[in-house]
Structure 1
Amino acid sequence: MSLDLPRTEPRSANPAADEVRQRLEHARSTRLAQLKALDETGQSPEDHLMSTQKDAIKRVLAEIDDAFARVDGGTYGTCLGCSKAVPPERLEILPHTRYCVACQRRAA
């Protein structure tokens, strides 16, 4: 799949899922803009900091794609560590998160 194409699906009968998809698409487009800006800086490809930033952005893009799959599969918002609901506040701030705060700390 091309990174430039939006992932937003057609509107569904589930407004909550539509809102989640909208937040994920915003996070995705923001990361794509950051990646494009890094590519346009003209820095040397050997620049370790730039390479590290690009890798981090690409990891987040993969996490966002995984979150889209969880929305489609009906498991979005469930912690992959403890299977409890991830607090809505956390999902609002970090819509692609896979873990609640406690499980994220353990995974880190």
Structure 2
Amino acid sequence: MSLDTPQTEAGSERLTAHEALQRLEHERASRLTQLRAIGEARADADEQVMPTQKETIQRVLAEVEAAFARVQDGSYGICRHCTRPIPVERLEILPYTPFCVPCQRNAV
């Protein structure tokens, strides 16, 4: 199902592929900036916190890259578990999420 295809459910909207790509580009740029900042941090920075932050940012970057692939293959915005559309409000907050809220809750 394409991002540009309108939903038949009342009140449901979808992000266009262009909007999704813009949001994902922003997420990628933000995370890369965070990684650069960590790399440039002073030597006296907390050595236990920095690696954890770096790992978290790298995990999110991998999720962003996977979301780019979903845009390309047409599966972006569709929950990978239940195959229902992910609400646009959730995609605005977490543009790289592969799950709707109920499926994400069940996965945790």
TM-score (norm 1): 0.81
User: 1:1-40 CA distances to partner (integer Å, 9 max, x unpaired)?
Assistant: xxxxxxxxxxxxx691111101100010000001111111
Match of 2:33 in 1: 33
Which protein has greater RCO, CA pairs closer than 8 Å, 6+ apart? 2
Q: 2:83 corresponds to which letter in structure 1?
A: S
Match of 1:23 in 2: 23
Q: 1:52 corresponds to which letter in structure 2?
A: T
Match of 2:82 in 1: 82
Number of paired residues? 95
Residue ranges of structure 2 left out of the alignment (5+ in a row): 5-14
Question: Which structure would you say has the larger Rg?
Answer: 2
**Aligned Cα RMSD in Å?**
1.9
Kindly indicate whether residue 55 of structure 2 is the aligned counterpart of residue 62 of structure 1: no
Structure 1 runs of 4+ off > 2 angstroms?
42-46
Match of 2:42 in 1: 42
Q: 1:82 corresponds to which letter in structure 2?
A: C
Q: 1:35 corresponds to which letter in structure 2?
A: L
Match of 1:71 in 2: 71
Deviation at 1:60, TM superposition (A): 0.3
Residue ranges of structure 1 left out of the alignment (5+ in a row): 1-13
Deviation at 1:45, TM superposition (A): 9.1
Q: Percent identity?
A: 52
TM-score (norm 2): 0.81
